[in-house]
Chains A and B, each alone.
Chain A
């Protein structure tokens, strides 16, 4: 079903934006993601013209630049507009939505500290790009540090024994970077630019970090193989290795002076976006189950006519609506206020990803045996939702990080 928007203040432009994005999600993203999901080899995903077609179409429509002001050629959308777009992209395909979203990280961060070099080298070329030849990624986690990197404000974050493997040192007018980022870096093996979160001052523990852009064609950068995983298979992921990579001084946007504060801002934006995207994923599972329940006949009538199925569907419907309400509120508040209230973004991420998993799980049950097969995309959506509970921070530890803010 197309849901009823409870926001009575949506403008005609916002309604059109929702309709247009939904069209892209339904006609382009969903079929592409289903095909890509079936490829056994993750290398085949990024070699497939299907992958590049969907990315290119997304870029041509400007979705890669939803977070960037129109001054630079970005979409320049208001926070509520961005939430609307992200929910629809998530409805189409959670994996491709994440790839599109995280792809803007280097340019988005550059637009917060727009020095001449970042404007010319990163922001403008990214916004102008229409063929997905400029793709970003967010390299923060490492083989030995997952949760460790995403817990600003907790006690362990300032423990000098816990630092990133990737470190940067200043040498004249350049930063020299060495170390390895994890196989989980989304867009890792297709990215042309990495927004890298690393350690500058190990004495400060994880808090002694820095944030910089690293073009991945620089000497000393090496990429791993695309990761083979359970869900979100259309989302490319893979390691990045840095061996004495030299970047200009201007590419280091944040140093240890404000690293933990900026990481907190990053989590607030990234987690709020996850909430929006996985509201869409939850809704897609509900829509498929509702549709199927009206077609599948058992006991001489559509299973929708059986009270138990109606009850289950209504419970799924309530969860999706609650997810949208929380994720919109958190998103709109935190993208209108800096510093943000990060605990609300985390609440949104945890609640919406959990909701996506629960709703997808119920949807599989409504489909019965065929829900486990590849005939319908519901099993893919279930796997995609499962991955989201670990993505952008494991839900359990994110909750502890957020509770530190009380």
Chain B
């Protein structure tokens, strides 16, 4: 059984996670400075989540943008990645995540994503999602 029962639920949880972060001025400033448009291309449930520093903010669903970095992964891998149950290199090594975009930009994202790692366990708990 997939962690997210539907695309809508995934958008609610992950979209909420990112929107919360973008409302944090410190995080927003770093995201703007990095200036990287990211697309999470998710399967099971199918969906797309975009982080666009150039005005779009957090977009759940298809968007007419050009990503600098695309991460293709399942909803379950997304969940475990934000819970820090799996690191990005390990997820890549195990073929659970595919990234497209210059490696330095992918690596640049990692420290930016830290606040998401910090915030996610609470959000997952509040939504009744498994923590292991």
Contact = CB atoms under 8 A, between A and B. Distances in A.
B2 interface: no
21 contacts: A69-B105, A69-B108, A71-B112, A74-B104, A76-B108, A78-B102, A112-B87, A112-B88, A113-B89, A114-B110, A254-B89, A257-B90, A260-B93, A261-B93, A264-B93, A265-B89, A337-B99, A337-B100, A338-B92, A338-B97, A338-B106
Contacts of B103: 67, 79, 335-336, 338
B72 to A, nearest CB: 10
A336 B69 CA distance: 9
A261 B104 contact: no
A177 to B, nearest CB: 21
Contact of B104 (A68, A119, A253): A68
Given A69-B105, A257-B90, A338-B98, 17 more contacts: A67-B103, A70-B108, A78-B104, A112-B88, A112-B110, A113-B87, A114-B110, A254-B90, A257-B94, A258-B94, A260-B93, A261-B90, A261-B94, A265-B89, A336-B100, A338-B97, A338-B99
A180 interface: no
A265 B93 contact: yes
A255 to B, nearest CB: 9
A258 B107 contact: no
A77 interface: yes
B111 interface: yes
Interface string B55-99: 000000000000000000000000000000001111011110111
Most chain A CB within 10 A, of B100, B102, B111, is at B102
A111 B98 CA distance: 18
A119 B99 CA distance: 23
Dominant secondary structure at the B interface: helix
A329 B100 CA distance: 15
A339 interface: yes
A260 B93 CA distance: 8
A176 interface: no
Contacts of B89: 112-113, 253-254, 258, 262, 265
Nearest to A74: B104
Contacts of B111: 71, 114, 119
Contacts of B105: 69
Closest 7 A-B residue pairs measured CB to CB?
Answer: A261-B93, A258-B93, A69-B108, A258-B90, A69-B104, A338-B99, A338-B92
Interface residues of B, number: 24
Contact of A261 (B92, B99, B102): B92
B20 interface: no
Contacts of A76: 104, 108
B34 interface: yes
Nearest to B91: A258
A111 B90 contact: no
Most chain A CB within 10 A, of B101, B103, B105, is at B103
Contacts of B100: 336-337
Contacts of B99: 337-338
B41 to A, nearest CB: 14
B40 to A, nearest CB: 15
A261 B92 CA distance: 8
B119 to A, nearest CB: 17
A71 B110 CA distance: 10
Contacts of A119: 111
A79 B107 contact: no
Contacts of A68: 104, 107
A68 B103 CA distance: 9
B34 to A, nearest CB: 7
B92 A71 contact: no
Nearest to A76: B104
